Structure 1
Amino acid sequence: MTTHSFQLYCQRVDVTKNMARYYALSLQPTLFGEIAVVRCWGRIGKRGGEKSEVFDTESEAARHFLELARLKRAKGYRPVGNCGNPGDSQQFFAAAE
C-alpha cells in the first residue's frame, strides 16, 4: 500500500504553434495492494488519453513517476499549482532532474 500520494499536473503552451497541452501523473493504490502510475494527457479543455502501469513496490512506481516527469520537463512542460501535494510542485521536477 502506498505511504505517499503524489500527483503532478503540467502544461505546455505555445501560442505560435497553436499548442495547448496538459499532462497529469499520479501514484494510486490498486485493489490488490500494488501501486499504479496513472498518466493522462491531451489538449487543454479536451478529453485525452489515459494509461496505467502497475508496479509491485512503491519505490519502483516512484522511480517511473520521476522518470516520466523528467522526460516531460525536457519537452517543455511546466507544473501548474501543487495538485494537492504538500509543499511546492516544483520539487517534483527538481527531483526528476
Structure 2
Amino acid sequence: MFEKLNLVVLDHRDPTQNMSRFYVLAIEPSLFGDATLVREWGRIGKPGRRRVELHENEGRAVESLENWLRRKQKRGYRIRAGGSI
C-alpha cells in the first residue's frame, strides 16, 4: 500500500492577468493507514490552502486525484515540468 509516490504538481501562469498559481495533488496514508487525497493550492511564492479528503482505499483516492486533475486542466492548469514543488 502507498508504495509509489502519487504526486502531481500543476501551475497556471498568465502574466497579462497577473496570475501565478499552483495546485498540488498527493495521495498519502493517514495516521490510521487509510488513504487520503491532500490538495494544496494558492499563489506561487505565498502560503497556500490545504484540504485533506479521507477515502476508503487507495483506489478511491486515485479516482479522486484523477477527477481533480481533469478539473484543473480544464481551467488552464498544466503539469509542472519535473513535477517538483
The Cα RMSD (Å) is 1.2
CA contact (8 A) 1:8 1:82 kept: no
Q: Which runs of 5+ in 2 are unaligned?
A: none
The whole-number CA distance in structure 1 between the counterparts of 2:83 and 2:31 is 23
CA contact (8 A) 1:28 1:38 kept: yes
The whole-number CA distance in structure 1 between the counterparts of 2:2 and 2:80 is 24
- 1:70 maps onto 2:47 in alignment: no
Counterpart in 1 of 2:82?
A: 82
- Structure 1 residue 2: deviation in Å? 2.2
Q: Secondary structure at the match of 1:68?
A: helix
Counterpart in 2 of 1:32?
A: 32
- 1:3 maps onto 2:22 in alignment: no
Instruction: Write out the 4+ residue segments of structure 1 that deviate beyond 3 Å after TM superposition.
Output: none
Q: Percent identity?
A: 35
Q: Secondary structure at the match of 2:4?
A: coil
- Which amino acid is the alignment partner of residue 45 of structure 1? G
Q: Which runs of 5+ in 1 are unaligned?
A: 85-97
- Which amino acid is the alignment partner of residue 49 of structure 2? G
The whole-number CA distance in structure 2 between the counterparts of 1:82 and 1:38 is 19
Which of the two has greater helix per residue? 1
Query: What are the Cα deviations for residues 9-66 of structure 1, in whole angstroms up to 9, with x where unaligned?
Result: 1100011111000000100011211011001100000001000001111110000000
Counterpart in 2 of 1:93?
A: none
Q: Give the TM-score of the pair, scaled to structure 2.
A: 0.91
- Structure 1 residue 81: deviation in Å? 2.6
The whole-number CA distance in structure 1 between the counterparts of 2:46 and 2:30 is 27
